[in-house]
Amino acid sequence: MEMQEQLRKIQEEALAQLAQIDDKAGLDALKLRLMGKKGELTLLRRSMGQIPAEDRPKAGQMINEVVAALTAQMDALDERLKAREQEKKLAREAIDVTEPRKHTPIGMQHPISLVQDQMLGVFTSMGFDVVEGPEVEYDLYNFELMNIPKNHPARDAQDTFYIEDNVVLRTHTSPVQARTMLTRKPPIRIVCPGRVYRADEVDATHSPVFHQMEGLVVGEDVTMADLKGTLDAFAQKLFGQDVTTRFRPSFFPFTEPSAEVDLTCVNCHGKGCRVCKGTGWIEVLGAGMVNPKVLEMCGIDSRKYSGFAFGVGLERIAMLRYGITDMRALFEGDVRFLSQFRDD
Ligand code: PHE
């Protein structure tokens, strides 16, 4: 039977070709050649009219079988080609998550901000509120209500930047004490961080602008022991358990009695070294019991209430904490220097 022979040939050739085909275009071409409008199998099916009627069902069945077999093979190849294409695509789009990233510099906290945050953490955990005041301040708050008399040397233009006769750049954070006492009733427990200004020449330990943190506690039965306990806790939390405070008599117009407060030298732990000039102690802050005159001027009954106050220089604390020997490094903004410090 001629048609049978033809069919066998077509199938054989198709299978041989199928084994060679490597891409979609090749597969499409083969499909078209076999089953397109003028495809070999299409034409063969069309030519069925020419064979005797009794042979037709058999012939039709044979064609169908070959079409089904080839279609199955071509579909399988199509699947394989698609899978290969997908693999290639995934390989092309693969991301190497282990590849090191480009260096992206990120900002660091300034050492002054670091110690300020550490100190605020210590004091807020002891129940202190954080209060801020203006840097451009009235003479009234900076001096008058702090019991600093008109003829006091601190008021001299050599020490104080004047904006107007009655307006200065605050020389300390103490005016925030007055602002708070005038607006809040005891019990008061606040710390006040901020910038302060003095007409100083720049050197390794001085700058015309620097930072302080003021502390103020006012209540019934507040004593010097409370001041000592508070400052001891602060010193230990910031510098370690073996650090303690020593009070030396001093004078501030707004406190009575007043003290200069030393810490155990954080460098030699009290043995005596270059940092503490052999004494084992380093001076870090001023403190005292709020002068009753200040309480009264700020509207607080000094027979009922007492208080303590302290003022700490943040540059001093940062220098001690991080072993910085020249204060200018804190103001120059050299990123190579500043990026060395982090909270720990
Ligand atoms: N205001 C003082 C200063 O700037 C520090 C201080 C504050 C002292 C509070 C005693 C009490 O030197």
Q: What is the pLDDT of residue 1?
A: 56
Tell me the CA–centroid distance for residue 286 and ligand 1, in Å.
Answer: 5
Tell me the CA–centroid distance for residue 155 and ligand 1, in Å.
Answer: 15
Residue 101 phi, psi (nearest 5): -80, 165
Domain map (residue ranges) of the chain: 2-93, 111-338
Mutation test of ligand 1: which of 177, 252, 284, 291 has the most ligand atoms closer than 8 Å to its C-beta?
Answer: 252
Tell me the CA–centroid distance for residue 237 and ligand 1, in Å.
Answer: 21
Mutation test of ligand 1: which of 254, 256, 289 has the most ligand atoms closer than 8 Å to its C-beta?
Answer: 254
Residues with CB under 6 A from ligand 1: 172, 174, 214, 252, 255, 286-288, 309-311
Q: Tell me what the mean pLDDT of segment 277-295 comes to.
A: 96
Provide, rounded to the nearest whole percent, the portion of the chain with pLDDT above 70: 99
Q: String of b and e for 125-158 (b: at least 16 CB within 10 Å)?
A: ebebeebebeeebbbebbbbbbbbeeeeebbeee
- Give the residue, by CA position, lying nearest to ligand 1 atom 7: 311
111-338: CATH superfamily: Bira Bifunctional Protein; Domain 2 (3.30.930.10)
**Shortest-distance atom of ligand 1 to CA 258:** 10
Q: Tell me what the mean pLDDT of segment 312-321 comes to.
A: 95
**Shortest-distance atom of ligand 1 to CA 196:** 4
- Give the residue, by CA position, lying nearest to ligand 1 atom 8: 286
Rounded distance between C-alpha atoms, residue 111 and residue 343, angstroms: 9
Cα dist from 32 to 6, 74, 104, 121, whole Å = 18, 12, 57, 80
Tell me the CA–centroid distance for residue 270 and ligand 1, in Å.
Answer: 25
Provide, rounded to the nearest whole percent, the portion of the chain with pLDDT above 90: 74
User: What count of Cα atoms within 13 Å lies in the side-chain half-sphere of residue 90?
Assistant: 6
Rounded distance between C-alpha atoms, residue 218 and residue 308, angstroms: 7
Tell me the CA–centroid distance for residue 192 and ligand 1, in Å.
Answer: 12
Q: In what order do the strands lie in the sheet with 167-169?
A: 136-138, 167-169, 162-164
Which residue has 């009290």 as its token pair?
Answer: 270
Of the pLDDT bands very low, low, confident and very high (cuts 50, 70, 90), residue 344 is low
Q: String of b and e for 33-49 (b: at least 16 CB within 10 Å)?
A: bbbeeebbbbebbeeee
Q: Tell me what the mean pLDDT of segment 175-195 comes to.
A: 98
**Shortest-distance atom of ligand 1 to CA 287:** 10
Q: What is the pLDDT of residue 222?
A: 98
Q: What is the pLDDT of residue 106?
A: 80
Q: Give the pLDDT confidence of 87-128 residue by residue, as tens digits.
A: 999 999 999 889 888 888 788 899 999 999 999 999 999 999
Tell me the CA–centroid distance for residue 310 and ligand 1, in Å.
Answer: 6
Q: Give the pLDDT confidence of 267-280 residue by residue, as tens digits.
A: 899 999 988 999 99
Rounded distance between C-alpha atoms, residue 275 and residue 333, angstroms: 25
User: pTM for the full model?
Assistant: 0.72
Q: Are 284 and 276 in contact (CB under 8 A)?
A: no
Tell me the CA–centroid distance for residue 67 and ligand 1, in Å.
Answer: 101
**Shortest-distance atom of ligand 1 to CA 212:** 4
Question: What is 193-235 written as a DSSP string?
Answer: EEEEE--PPPSSS--SEEEEEEEEEEETT--HHHHHHHHHHHH
